[in-house]
Amino acid sequence: MKLFLKPIAALLLVSACGTTTPNQAALVKQAKTMSVYSLWNQQQYTQSALTLAVVEAELAARGQTKTTTSYLGNRSRSSVEKRRYSRTSAGNNTMNCSDFANAAQAQRFFLASGGPASDPNDLDRDGDGMACEWGTYIRKIARSNARAARRYTPRRYSNGTCYTGPRGGTYTITASGRKNYGGC
C-alpha cells in the first residue's frame, strides 16, 4: 500500500501549486513512473485539471482505457471542443500531429511542453486544451463506456431486482448473495 502512496503524494504536491505553474515536464515524467493502479486512483480523485489531463494521457499511452469503476473521459470529456484557451500561431512548429504514433502520445508531449496554457507547436488549434485528435478519442471511449453501463442496469420488479447478465440471461440475488436464474 505504501508503494503507490509516494508517487501519488509527489504528483499531488507538484500539482497543488495553485498560483505558480508547476513544471509540467516533471509532472509528465512522474506519471510515467507511476503504476497503473496509482494512475487510475488519481484519475478518479484528483481535483487538478492538469493532473487529470496528464494521468489520462499516460493511461491511454499504456493502452489503459477503463477499469471496473472508471474510464477515460468520464471526468474530462465535457471540455472537448470547447474553446478555453486563446491560440495564436507561434510559427516555430517543430512537431506536427503526424509525428506521433497516436493521440495519447501527442497529448502527453503537448502537456510536457506547456499545454494547455501554451501551445508552442500548434497542436491544439481549437484551444480546448487537447492536442490533435485526443478529444475525439476521449469522447469515443466515454460514449462506448456510457452505453455499456446503460446496458447492464438492473430492472425493478415487484418481487425484487432483476439483473441482466453479459450474455442476456436474467437473474435475481437471493438473501445469501447467490444468483437465482429462475427468479425473473
Does residue 121 sit in the same domain as residue 146? yes
**Is the pLDDT at 126 greater than 90, yes or no?**
no
Q: Is the pTM of this model over 0.75?
A: no
What residues are paired with 157 via a beta bridge?
160
109-118 pLDDT per residue, tens: 988 888 788 8
Cα-only R_g, the chain: 20
What's the structural domain count of the chain? 2
Does residue 145 sit in the same domain as residue 158? no
Domain around 147? 2-151
Does residue 56 sit in the same domain as residue 122? yes
| 37: three-class secondary structure by DSSP | helix
Question: How far apart are alpha carbons 97 and 104 in whole angstroms?
Answer: 11
The pLDDT, as a whole number, for residue 153 is 52
Question: How far apart are alpha carbons 108 and 103 in whole angstroms?
Answer: 9
128-170 pLDDT per residue, tens: 888 888 888 888 888 887 766 565 555 544 456 778 877 778 8
Does residue 132 sit in the same domain as residue 167? no
Does residue 91 sit in the same domain as residue 160? no
Q: Average pLDDT of the chain? A: 76
Does residue 87 sit in the same domain as residue 177? no
Does residue 125 sit in the same domain as residue 179? no
Does residue 49 sit in the same domain as residue 120? yes
Does residue 83 sit in the same domain as residue 6? yes
User: To which residue does cell 487529470 refer?
Assistant: 52
- Rounded to whole angstroms, what are the CA distances from 114 to 7, 18, 19, 65? 21, 16, 15, 24
Question: How far apart are alpha carbons 81 and 96 in whole angstroms?
Answer: 19
Q: Is residue 135 within 8 Å of residue 127, measured between CB atoms?
A: no
**Cell numbers of 141, please?**
471511449
Does residue 124 sit in the same domain as residue 161? no
Does residue 70 sit in the same domain as residue 137? yes
Question: How far apart are alpha carbons 55 and 108 in whole angstroms?
Answer: 9
Q: Is residue 56 within 8 Å of residue 72, measured between CB atoms?
A: yes
Question: How far apart are alpha carbons 108 and 87 in whole angstroms?
Answer: 19
Amino acid found at 4: F
